[in-house]
């Protein structure tokens, strides 16, 4: 298996054998259940659909989702994600995928949803310099002209303006696995990962892809 679903717990620090501080992110990785297999004959590619098993389960899934889980003979899960897996035929519905698929020293990619910042202006959102603060200026944090007057007489596509900031899908690549705690299903990776505490994450190995199911 090449990937796993998890939730961000937070950041802390650990130490290497030389006593150097290593900032790490603690991720509750798995356990995940195999919900569905995708095959070349039926779907055109090899992949595995995983569901994250959580202490707080799904209260009442919709009928379409209920049938999907009943077909696989597994209890409903709140989150489904798909991982490309060349040997999908080797696994079967209901199998458990644990954090022990990762090893210390391995490099992984982590995908999550960044923190939402709400509506922000151009100074915060796009790092505009802004105008003067003194000498009678009224142009402090305004965006300036967006294309009025004789030319171009319209707003160009892609013009940077104020708007909703954050809450984007972000992938951080090549993070080192510092420790994989099999007993507690915890994964410690060097550095920061996107999203707030409690946010869902996709952790996958180099050279493989993950997507929303």
Rounded CA separation 185/100 (Å): 8
The answer to whether the beta carbons of residues 69 and 41 sit under 8 Å apart is no
Q: How much is the pLDDT for 110?
A: 95
Q: How much is the pLDDT for 2?
A: 83
Nearest in space to 21 (alpha carbons), one of 190, 208, 188: 190
Going from N- to C-terminal start, the domains of the chain cover 3-115+167-212
Q: How much is the pLDDT for 46?
A: 85
In which residue are the tokens 């707003």 written?
A: 155
Q: Which 8-state DSSP code applies to residue 34?
A: E
pTM for the structure as a whole: 0.82
- pLDDT tens per residue across all 213 residues of the chain: 788 999 999 999 999 889 999 999 999 998 998 888 888 888 888 888 898 888 776 777 777 788 888 887 888 888 889 888 777 667 888 888 899 889 998 999 999 999 999 999 999 999 999 899 999 998 999 998 888 888 888 999 999 999 999 999 999 999 999 999 989 999 999 999 999 999 999 998 876 555 554
φ, ψ of residue 88 in degrees (nearest 5): -65, -25
Rounded CA separation 33/37 (Å): 11
Rounded CA separation 76/60 (Å): 9
Q: Could you report how far apart the first and last alpha carbons of the chain are, in Å?
A: 17
Regarding the domain delimited by 3-115+167-212, which CATH topology (the fold level of the hierarchy) does it fall under? Elongation Factor Tu (Ef-tu); domain 3 (2.40.30)
């Amino acid at each position: 298996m090449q990937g796993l679903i998890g939730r961000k717990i937070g950041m802390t620090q650990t130490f290497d054998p030389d006593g150097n501080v290593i900032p790490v992110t603690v991720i509750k990785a798995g356990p995940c259940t195999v919900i569905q297999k995708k095959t070349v004959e039926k779907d055109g590619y090899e992949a595995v659909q995983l569901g994250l098993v959580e202490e707080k389960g799904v209260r009442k899934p919709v009928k379409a989702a209920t049938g999907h889980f009943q077909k696989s003979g597994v209890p409903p899960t709140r989150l489904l994600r798909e991982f490309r897996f060349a040997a999908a035929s080797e696994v079967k519905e209901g199998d458990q995928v644990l954090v022990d698929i990762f090893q210390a020293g391995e490099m992984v990619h982590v995908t999550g949803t960044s923190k939402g910042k709400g509506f922000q202006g151009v100074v915060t959102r796009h790092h505009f310099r802004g105008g003067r603060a003194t000498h009678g200026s009224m142009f402090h944090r305004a965006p300036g002209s967006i294309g009025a007057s004789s030319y171009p007489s319209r707003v160009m596509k892609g013009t940077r303006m104020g708007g909703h900031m954050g809450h984007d899908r972000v992938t951080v690549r090549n993070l080192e696995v510092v420790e994989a705690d099999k007993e507690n299903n915890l994964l410690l990776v060097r550095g920061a990962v996107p999203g707030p505490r409690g946010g869902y994450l996709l952790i996958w190995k180099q050279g493989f892809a993950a997507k929303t199911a």
